[in-house]
Structure 1
């Protein structure tokens, strides 16, 4: 992924750069894999399974973003989204 557009956002204060965090990495892997496993359980409602699968995809996608960008995170105004 080309970092130039993101570097520009860092420069103008829209993003801040953070170092990689092994605990965050492990937490996202754990969160994503546990939720994905639980989403396969037929004993729970379809809505709950969808929610689990969606949140698993979000955790694993965020993991890839953090991994590939070496730790770009959003400012506090967007903290609830990340």
Structure 2
């Protein structure tokens, strides 16, 4: 089940980090700490949201899809060999 509250929370971190970096670029401040804080907040939001998306993704469904794709490829290879 997709946890939209966590995704929204992590999206807020991404937006805040991006806003800090854009503010620093727009006004060309010499605040190194502002750049570092913006980058750290942005990376935390991206990492956390990616981890959340991976947890929301059903792993058993992906494994079944991969098995179906490999079975289909094997069947195609057998048909190609029969034609030769």
Normalising by structure 2, we get a TM-score of 0.46
Greater relative contact order: 1 or 2 (C-alpha under 8 angstroms, separation 6 or more)?
A: 1
Normalising by structure 1, we get a TM-score of 0.47
Q: Which has the higher helix share?
A: 2
